[in-house]
Structure 1
Amino acid sequence: MTLLRIPSPLHDVFGARQRQLAIALVVLAAFGVPLALAVTEPHLLAVVAPWRVVFAALLVADVAAGAVANLTAGTNDHYAERPASRWVFIAVHLHLPAVAVLLDLPIVVALVVWAGTIAGAVTVNLLRGHPEQQVVAGTIFVAIATAAVLLTDARALTLVGILFAFKVVYAFAVDHEGSQ
């Protein structure tokens, strides 16, 4: 399969080189998840200002795209070569509480899932090179996903929370190439 050269402003998303199919799947996730939420949760669109919906949709798109992109070799390699950038990536991920505020979803639940996700990502990132890094990440993800489901009946928050935890704890914090 042919690897495409990625423009440098997009290296944080795709890495320096990426396969066409991977790019297509990342874009599909970026558009598909916000669209699915808009179709299945139309009441969210009606109760908040349109600008808040737009910003929330962009954050959800980033979460969904990252959940896929962070599994690719190109993105994994990019961050494996830049360990400090992994810490910055983890630190700046305030997406879940922001989506909750923007869409008037339960903020306490969002903060619990967010805090668990960040703590889990820090733990997994500290295990870089450990042979069980993926297993630890998977276990933490399962715990966070379970909490997301059990703590709220807000489907949109549950979905975004689970995708957020997957993106940050499992897809991103794990060095998929180095932990095999």
Structure 2
Amino acid sequence: MKPLRIPKSLHDIFGERQTVGAFAAVLLFGGLLTAALGLRFPELTNSLPVWRSALALVLIFDIFAGCIANFTASTSNFYAARKNNRLLFIAVHVHIVLVALLLNANIGYSIAVWSYTIAGAFIVNALAGQRTQLFVAALLLCAGIGGTSLLPDVQPYMLIVGILVMMKVLFSFAVDHYGKAIVNDGR
């Protein structure tokens, strides 16, 4: 199957060329999981203005879809070739804090997840080209999931969003999954 050429305005999300299957999987995963979260936790948007609910759900969709998009070869390779873009992408990911503010959710939890995720992503990104990058990313992701799951008074929907923020930025995005940044050391 011939890959789709992605418009330049969407390169930061999908890379330059994406298969139809990967493109559909990203959108379906993001859409279905966002819908499932909203159906399972109707209190998520109860008593909120429509604009806040809609904006929060769009940001949640972006988090969920980004988890999968960042695992595609096209997106991973796009950022492996553009180190400054990767640093900027990591730095601007304040989604979970915005979601918490929009939903009147636990802001302390969202700041803790955001801080840990961004710090971990910068550490993992600094290991680009090293064989330990994937291991360190997995270690930090597992520690983050375990640690944040133990925090008190976290709404279940925010726990899900927080875990997937860590997956998206710390592991899915910060890791060069296809070895485009690995320096050939002759082995």
- In the superposition, the TM-score normalised over structure 1's length comes to 0.96
**1:132 shift after superposition:** 1.3
CA contact (8 A) 1:113 1:147 kept: no
Instruction: Name the counterpart of 1:56.
Output: 56
User: Identity over aligned residues, as a percent?
Assistant: 42
Residue 154 of structure 1 aligns with which residue?
Answer: 155
Residue 150 of structure 1: how far off its partner (Å): 1.3
Paired residues of 2:109 and 2:154 also in contact (CA < 8 A): no
Write the deviation string for residues 73-92 of structure 1: whole angstroms up to 9, x where unpaired: 00011111110000000010
Distance 2:167 2:45 in 1: 25
Please say if residues 113 and 161 of structure 1, whose CA atoms lie closer than 8 Å, have aligned partners that are also in contact.
Answer: yes
Whole-Å separation in 1 of the counterparts to 2:108 and 2:147: 12
Ranges in structure 2 where 5+ consecutive residues have no aligned partner: 183-187
C-alpha displacement of 1:45: 1.8
Aligned to 1:143: 143
- Corresponding residue SS for 2:4: strand
More helix by share: 1
**After the TM superposition, which parts of structure 1 deviate over 3 Å for at least 4 consecutive aligned residues?**
none
Q: How does 1:8-87 map to 2 (within 5 A)?
A: 8-87=8-87
CA offset digits 1:36-85 (Å, max 9, x no partner): 11101101221322211111001001101110000000001111111000
Structure 2 counterpart of 1:176, which letter? H
Cα pair 2:64 2:164 within 8 Å, conserved? yes
Number of residue equivalences = 180
| DSSP 3-state at the match of 1:47 | coil
The equivalent residue for 2:129 is 129
What SS does structure 2 have at the residue aligned with 1:46?
coil
Partner in structure 1 of residue 100 of structure 2: 100
The unaligned stretches of length 5 or more in structure 1 are none
Give the Cα separation in 1 of the matches to 2:10 and 2:114. 25
Once the two structures are superposed, the pairs formed by residues 101-120 of structure 1 within 5 Å of their partners are: 101-120=101-120
What aligned pairs does 1:164-179 form with structure 2 within 5 A after superposition? 164-178=165-179
Matched to 2:78, the amino acid is: H
In structure 2, C-alpha distance between the alignment counterparts of 1:2 and 1:122, rounded to whole Å: 34
Q: Are 2:106 and 2:154, in contact at CA under 8 Å, matched by a contact in 1? A: no
- Paired AA for residue 147 in structure 2: A
CA distance in 2, matches of 1:47, 1:143: 35
Q: What is the CA deviation profile of residues 130-173 of structure 1, one whole-angstrom value per residue up to 9, with x for unaligned ones?
A: 10101100110111111221114411110000000000010000
The letter for the 1-side match of 2:146 is T
